[in-house]
């Protein structure tokens, strides 16, 4: 009986301690998540200027792809400042991975994904002539606070006579009739 006592008591103490520790870390995680979300919400503005924005989503996509074809690796998509200060705050309520991530960490992950997409697109487009044949939109639009997000399913391109499809460009943002490629990933 004494042997059983020495097994059960430490087990119960350990179990209770783990549950308490887990609930504390879960509470801290929720508080941190809320702090980040509140920080993003406080940055939402009524007006933004998107550099090199175009008057239509189709023109924004073509401008972005032409930039890659000419070797300007992603120069015509949202830059780091636009991503952190415009896109991230406005997509806070989307409940995705970056909604509750510190801006620098979100940019680090997005930057890596963008680089992979640019390399993929560069292999197909760099130094070549192309024409956008079809854009398959996932949805007409997605309300992101003061932005509208136009989701792309796939793009069919005719590259020097050959039809190719890509899913590397994910989202074009719109604000006050300004359009710009914002999310691209492979």
What is the tens place of the pLDDT at every residue in 17-72? 555 445 557 888 889 889 999 999 999 999 999 999 999 999 999 999 999 999 99
Number of domains in the chain: 1
Instruction: Specify if 176 maps to a domain.
Output: yes
Residue 78: partners with Cβ closer than 8 Å, 6 or more residues away: 50, 86, 87, 173, 180, 181, 182
Distance CA 110, CA 113 (A): 5
Instruction: Specify if 14 maps to a domain.
Output: no
Query: pTM of the full predicted structure?
Result: 0.83
Look up the domain containing 70 and give its range.
44-184
Instruction: Specify if 55 maps to a domain.
Output: yes
Instruction: Specify if 2 maps to a domain.
Output: no
Instruction: Specify if 172 maps to a domain.
Output: yes
Instruction: Specify if 1 maps to a domain.
Output: no
Instruction: Specify if 3 maps to a domain.
Output: no
Residue-wise DSSP of 11-43: HHHHHHHHHHHHHHHHHHHHHHHHHHHHHHHHH
């Amino acid at each position: 009986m004494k042997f059983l006592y020495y097994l059960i008591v430490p087990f119960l103490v350990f179990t209770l301690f783990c549950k308490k520790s887990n609930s504390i870390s879960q509470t801290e995680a929720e508080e941190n998540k809320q702090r980040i979300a509140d920080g993003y919400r406080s940055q939402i503005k009524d007006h933004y200027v998107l550099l090199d924005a175009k008057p239509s989503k189709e023109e924004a996509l073509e401008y972005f792809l032409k930039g890659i074809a000419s070797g300007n690796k992603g120069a015509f998509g949202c830059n780091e400042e636009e991503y952190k200060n415009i896109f991230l705050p406005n997509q806070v309520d989307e409940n995705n991975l970056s909604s509750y991530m510190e801006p620098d960490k979100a940019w680090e992950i997005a930057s890596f994904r963008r680089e992979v997409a640019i390399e993929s697109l560069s292999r197909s487009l760099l130094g070549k002539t192309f024409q956008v044949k079809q854009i398959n939109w996932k949805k007409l639009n997605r309300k992101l606070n003061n932005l509208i997000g136009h989701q792309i399913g796939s793009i069919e391109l005719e590259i020097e006579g050959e039809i190719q499809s890509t899913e590397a460009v994910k989202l074009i943002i719109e604000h006050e009739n300004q359009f710009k490629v914002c999310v691209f990933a492979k």
